[in-house]
Structure 1
Amino acid sequence: MKHKRLKQSKQLAVALAAAFLLVPVATGMVELNDQQLPVVQAAKGDHGVDWSKYQGANGIWGYSDDKFAIAQIGGTTDGYNCYDQWTYSTQVSGAIAQGKRAHTYIWWQNVTTNWQADQALNYFLPRVQTPKGSIVALDVESGNQNTQAIQHACDRIQQAGYTPMVYGYKNYLLNHVDLSYLSNHEQLWLGEYPDYNVRRQPNFGYFPSFNNVGIFQFTSTYIAGGLDGDVDLTGITDNGYKNGNPQEPKSQTPAVQQGKQIHQVTHNYTVKSGDNLSAIASRYGMTVNALVALNGIQNANLIYPGQVLRVADSGSGSTVTKKATTPITSTGTQVYTVRYGDTLSGIASRYGTSTSTLASINGISNPNWIYPGQVLKLSGGSSTRVYTVRSGDTLSGIASRLGTSWTALKVKNGLANANLIYPGQTLYY
């Protein structure tokens, strides 16, 4: 994980023989203490990555055969206040566009009561952009923890229709929670690194042996510069997708839909000697920025022969460019950041809508006055309504009157205390 992670010294978790008992053996070799030893491959063996904001709006892939990405939606550091990860929805969309499976994780720190767990999940579950059935993992690697609060959260995740997992380092988890109890209820996603050298394949000599491990994070340096590399041991990353097909999610979200739409009008292109991104983008009617965003390219000046890029189909360059460079919020709403020289009518024309619609969605009274840096919603209509709190109102009473729940009102309006509202306050529903 990349959340101000404190690098921990890694110790040998198990004897190699123990790893042999847990996963099937296949041919191959790895280096361990300068000796050649057999590789132990997972039964499923799909490789993938996990992302936070440090991997940018569209994420970074390690290798063309990566099959999944697990993106951070946000989290909590104090157990009370939640934060959003601005990169989450576009990373989900980018993974689907690339033909990869997308999953979700939540940074989980200092959540020590069921009440705190409920507040966090009341906030995040409505914002999950990966499909039903997909992984929603709790990143348990720092701060104070409580076994029952974690299990309560996992139960909530499962009840919401997702696949719960617990991520962390084995030693930390053993010292802070009842890991045996948790592993008897859901699969674990454990990290253990033999070193910080670039590592393409897992070294199972450092496998953190434990009951019910579903994903092994075997390196934080999957590529030069740093990137977490993971291997699926049980096929759990197929969850949420019919037969593991990223283009057949079990439910649709705005980010998944956008990713599918991009995938359907793009195809693979294999970089040849002498190619550069500018020429490739021009050939397929795309901008360089769109090509970089679509493919999660870390350095626009560094591509190599044999690299596989996703490019626009003939006649779809402008469509792909627009979709690949249009951000999505954590609730799935497309947004646009106003630039110098923009007009509301020009933005409306660019995105196939009307000036009056944009003004209505964004509560703009004067369509001739917008400013650089302003964030405009491009979709979502004007369906959001408001209610002005009156004397004697309670949140539960308002919710009943409006046909919604008090928890939904609390989340939508970012209320820290459901019992503290005041006359004249404006609530969105």
Structure 2
Amino acid sequence: MNKRKLKALVLMVGAIFMAFFMFNLNSQASTSRDQGVDWSKFQSNSGVFGYSTDKFVFSQAGGFYGGTNIPQTTYASQVASAKQAGKRVHTYLWDGVGGNMINAKAMMAYYLPRVKTPKGSIVALDYENGASYSVTANTNVILAQMALIKAAGYTPMLYSGKAYLNAHVNVADIVRAYGNCLWLAEYPDYLVRTKPDYNWFPSMDGVAIFQFTSTYKAGGLDGNVDLTGITKSGYTTASKAKAQANVKKAQKAQAAKVVKYSQRGVFYPNRTLAVRYTDSDKVRQVATYYKGESVIYNAVIIEHDYVWARYTRSNGLYGFIKLGVTNGPAYGKRVVGQLVSHTYYTVKSGDSWWTIAQRNGLSMTTLASQNGKTIYSTIYPGQRLVVR
């Protein structure tokens, strides 16, 4: 075969491959090419809309930052604004827990009762910073969080960049459990783009939403395209009926599992705390919060047959108090409050925030925060730091 014919054959095979790839991509996208935007506090109380043809909005409810849950005050008004504009509105959360399962469950216990979008709608985890050095730990945390989202009656999704996910998470496990559940970002440039350029599509299994630009309009705004119709979740008659049925089923299952604990000596006197025993993950947020002068009790976690109240001290450190037994012979029995002991590390010569955090599977920000400091604070040999 001469060189001219060989070159022509190579070009023809390449053209067939690209046509096949684009056909598959277009087939995947054919079910829904709806476009929409996502908002955080930077889009103000009412949000910033893209174009009249946009169909959906994601609003950030808050997230786990530097060792604590910080809600966004713009969330409720943004959801109301999107609904008034006739958009399908969904929720996302900044997921800065890394590979810490306790923080992950506490985060979901805090936010899931605060979701203001309809049952069946999407609750997405924004996982793009703070991952631990353990791929297994990161993956297990995400799977546990997505299970809690699903158990609460919402549609779980995972947002990130392709490179970051592949570096820190076993994506195959996530997709195996939840199918087309990925929301991935990939931008060709920072010019205004009103339509996706599929030459930059982050091709991998499980992609449901493609965030194709951070400059959807002049001034900056994320633009997203729904490839599978997932943003219709919670907004069809069938999905609403299914969600309502699941809620009734869950309520019926929980009805016989309510336990009451006297709060004397732990919270304010003469108050009652109702705790619901849920699925195998045993996590449920309590609707009532109690504030003391120096301690804020902001979550309740049911773990290993005990009820734990998460507290935050005035100096920013947090821990857990054991409240009671959830099942077995001692079901409902009061347990004297005991603080969970911390694990400490003594700083050695040559140590830094980075080396200590890496050694203990934490981010530098989390390590510094749980010690009441920032990553710019100086540490000295002999100093004790909380690492667990």
Per-residue deviation, 1:209: 0.4
Deviations along 1:376-411, one digit per CA (max 9) or x if unpaired, are: xxxxxxxxxxx99534x589x998x54445841686
Q: CA RMSD in A?
A: 3.3
Deviations along 1:81-122, one digit per CA (max 9) or x if unpaired, are: 000111111111111100000000000123312221110001
Deviations along 1:207-258, one digit per CA (max 9) or x if unpaired, are: 0001111100000000001000000001100001125999x9967xxxxxxx
Name the CA distance, whole Å, in 2 between partners of 1:398 and 1:23.
61
1:198 aligns with 2:192: yes
Name the CA distance, whole Å, in 1 between partners of 2:153 and 2:45.
26
Percent identity of paired positions between Structure 1 and Structure 2: 42
Name the CA distance, whole Å, in 2 between partners of 1:230 and 1:244.
25
Aligned to 2:321: 419
SS in 2 for 1:23: helix
SS in 2 for 1:72: strand
Alignment of structure 1 residues 5-20 onto 2, 5 Å: 19-20=21-22
- Of 201, 207, 210 in structure 2, the residue corresponding to residue 207 of structure 1 is 201
**C-alpha contact 1:242 1:250 (8 A) present in aligned 2:** no
Name the CA distance, whole Å, in 2 between partners of 1:408 and 1:50.
29
Alignment of structure 1 residues 284-299 onto 2, 5 Å: none
Aligned to 2:76: 89
1:229 aligns with 2:220: no
**C-alpha contact 2:128 2:161 (8 A) present in aligned 1:** yes
Name the CA distance, whole Å, in 1 between partners of 2:217 and 2:286.
41
**C-alpha contact 1:19 1:205 (8 A) present in aligned 2:** no
Deviations along 1:232-289, one digit per CA (max 9) or x if unpaired, are: 001100001125999x9967xxxxxxxxxxxxxxxxxxxxxxxxxxxxxxxxxxxxxx
**C-alpha contact 1:113 1:149 (8 A) present in aligned 2:** yes
1:63 aligns with 2:51: yes
**C-alpha contact 1:43 1:234 (8 A) present in aligned 2:** yes
1:106 aligns with 2:93: yes
Higher-RCO chain (CA-CA 8 Å, sequence separation at least 6): 1
- Of 140, 147, 151 in structure 2, the residue corresponding to residue 155 of structure 1 is 147
Aligned to 2:251: none
- Of 108, 121, 124 in structure 2, the residue corresponding to residue 137 of structure 1 is 124
- Of 163, 173, 187 in structure 1, the residue corresponding to residue 165 of structure 2 is 173
Classify 1:87/1:77 alpha carbon distance in 2 versus 1 (closer, same or farther; 3 Å). Answer: same
More strand by share: 2
Letter paired with 1:408: V
Name the CA distance, whole Å, in 2 between partners of 1:42 and 1:230.
15
Classify 1:122/1:41 alpha carbon distance in 2 versus 1 (closer, same or farther; 3 Å). Answer: closer
Classify 1:84/1:149 alpha carbon distance in 2 versus 1 (closer, same or farther; 3 Å). Answer: same
How many aligned residue pairs are there?
255
Aligned to 2:373: none
Report the TM-score, using the length of structure 2 for normalisation. 0.59
Show structure 2 runs of 5+ residues with no match.
Answer: 1-16, 133-137, 245-260, 277-283, 291-296, 299-310, 313-318, 324-335, 338-388
Name the CA distance, whole Å, in 1 between partners of 2:235 and 2:126.
22
Show structure 1 runs of 5+ residues with no match.
Answer: 1-14, 26-39, 252-386, 424-429
Deviations along 1:37-84, one digit per CA (max 9) or x if unpaired, are: xxx954300000000001110111110010000000000123x30001
Name the CA distance, whole Å, in 1 between partners of 2:218 and 2:229.
27
Report the TM-score, using the length of structure 1 for normalisation. 0.54
Letter paired with 2:200: Y
**C-alpha contact 1:240 1:249 (8 A) present in aligned 2:** no
Aligned to 2:368: none
